[in-house]
């Protein structure tokens, strides 16, 4: 019932399945304060599902999920909404509201959830947009932005409520290597500057090792390795080794649909 409040977030023996498909099969994971926890795994292994579970958008079939002392799985709607204010989320495709310009997108949580005056909101929005280097694009609509710019706006939006935990879903997927490095640097500097904990889902190895202070690898519904980056580099778990090297030889493809393509 009670979680040790030393963890920012915790999953305890979480099982999750969609219809017949088992996605998570007993996942336990702790996120400690100021961690930058990188979660790696194949496409479809349930990485985004873990983030949605932490936000309480999905309910697990079994197990419990904590954010600080709150058990997400047992909260009622209103309390859950309050807890979510302390968690920021950056979506893979940014999920900016296409009917609002950059300024209004970033201001949205402040307008809806705080009693700040318009001037105060403008000040906060300016400050956050400045942090991500998008101050000059306030009037642009999301459709006028590139993928990297959208990511940065989305990052600014996740920061305006001063969250204690930020979740990133594939922050650099689909970006060119230079912009990807920019986003990586931003994540590192912002989380350090604002002293926030973060969970980053990615399968870009370079970015994972650059950002992560801790890593976890999910395979077939379980966490198969969890530790600092050095431990991952030296891991003799064949799955981890294959994933890091990107080789087609190894246990990952065996018996999977994708294996057919390699034969």
Partner 1 sequence: MANTHTGTGAQSETLSTNPVVVVRGIGQLGRSFLREVGAMFWFIAHTLDETIDRVRQGRVPFRAASFFQHTERAGVESVPLVGLVSFFLGLTMALLTGYQLERFGTERLVPGLVAIGFTRELGPLLTGIMLAARIGAAFTAELGTMKVSEEVEAIEAMGIGPLRFLVAPRMLALFFLMPCLSTISNIAAIFASSLVCRAYFNMAFVYSIDLVRDALLIRDIITGILKSLMFGLIIGGIACYRGLTVNGGAAGVGAATTSSVVTAITVVIGVDTLYNTIYTIFFPT
Ligand X SMILES: Nc1ncnc2c1ncn2[C@@H]1O[C@H](COP(=O)(O)OP(=O)(O)OP(=O)(O)O)[C@@H](O)[C@H]1O
Binding mask 5-34 for ligand X (x = CB under 6 A): -------------x----x-----------
Nearest approach, Cβ of 130 to ligand X (angstroms)? 31
Binding-site member from 9, 27, 48, 217 for ligand X (CB under 6 A): 48
Binding-site member from 78, 143, 255, 260 for partner 1 (CB under 8 A): 78
Binding-site member from 63, 71, 73, 83 for partner 1 (CB under 8 A): 83
Q: Give the H or E element holding residue 233.
A: helix 229-233
Shorter beta-carbon distance to partner 1: residue 85 or 222: 85
Q: Which of residues 93-122 bind partner 1 (CB under 8 A)?
A: 93, 95-98, 108-109, 111-113
Which span (47-55, 96-104, 131-139, 216-224) binds Mg ion, by CB under 5 A? Answer: 47-55
Token readout for 126 is 């300016």
Nearest approach, Cβ of 169 to Mg ion (angstroms)? 6
- Give me the helices (H) in 39-176, please: 47-54, 77-84, 102-113, 118-131, 147-159
Q: Which residues pair with 30 in a beta bridge?
A: 10
45 binds, among ligand X, Mg ion, partner 1, none (CB under 5 to 8 A by kind): ligand X
Q: CA geometry: angle at 224 spanning 243 and 45, to 5°?
A: 65
**What is the spatial distance between Cα 69 and Cα 171, in angstroms, rounded to a whole number?**
28
57 binds, among partner 1, Mg ion, ligand X, none (CB under 5 to 8 A by kind): partner 1
C-alpha torsion angle, residues 210, 215, 219, 221 (rounded to 10) = -130
**What is the spatial distance between Cα 136 and Cα 124, in angstroms, rounded to a whole number?**
15
Query: Checking DSSP bridges between strand 36-41 and strand 197-201, what pairing results, if any?
Result: parallel
Q: Are 199 and 37 in contact (CB under 8 A)?
A: yes
Number of residue whose CB is nearest Mg ion: 48
49 binds ligand X (CB under 6 A): yes
Q: Which of residues 189-218 bind ligand X (CB under 6 A)?
A: none
Give the residues lining the site for ligand X (CB under 6 A): 18, 23, 41, 43-49
């Amino acid at each position: 019932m009670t979680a040790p409040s030393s963890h920012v977030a915790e999953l305890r023996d979480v099982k999750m399945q969609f219809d017949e498909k088992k996605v998570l099969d007993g996942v336990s994971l702790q996120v400690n304060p100021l961690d930058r926890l990188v979660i790696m795994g194949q496409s479809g292994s349930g990485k985004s599902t873990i983030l949605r579970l932490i936000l309480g958008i999905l309910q697990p079939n079994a197990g419990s999920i904590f954010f600080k002392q709150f058990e997400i799985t047992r909260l009622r709607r209103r309390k859950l909404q309050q807890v979510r204010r302390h968690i920021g989320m950056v979506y893979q495709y940014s999920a900016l509201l296409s009917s609002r310009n950059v300024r209004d997108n970033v201001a949205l949580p402040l307008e809806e959830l705080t009693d700040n005056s318009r001037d105060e909101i403008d000040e906060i929005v300016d400050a956050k947009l400045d942090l991500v280097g998008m101050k000059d694009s306030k009037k642009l609509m999301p459709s006028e932005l590139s993928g990297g710019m959208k990511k940065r706006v989305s990052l600014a939006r996740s920061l305006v409520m001063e969250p204690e935990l930020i979740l990133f879903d594939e922050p650099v997927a689909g970006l060119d290597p230079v912009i990807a490095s920019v986003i990586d640097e931003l994540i590192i500097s912002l989380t350090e500057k604002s002293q926030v904990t973060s969970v980053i889902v990615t399968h870009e190895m370079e970015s994972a090792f650059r950002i992560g202070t801790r890593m976890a690898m999910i395979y077939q519904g379980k966490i198969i390795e969890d530790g600092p980056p050095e431990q991952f580099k030296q891991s003799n778990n064949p799955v981890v080794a294959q994933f890091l090297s990107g080789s087609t030889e190894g246990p990952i493809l065996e018996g999977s649909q994708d294996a057919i393509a390699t034969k």
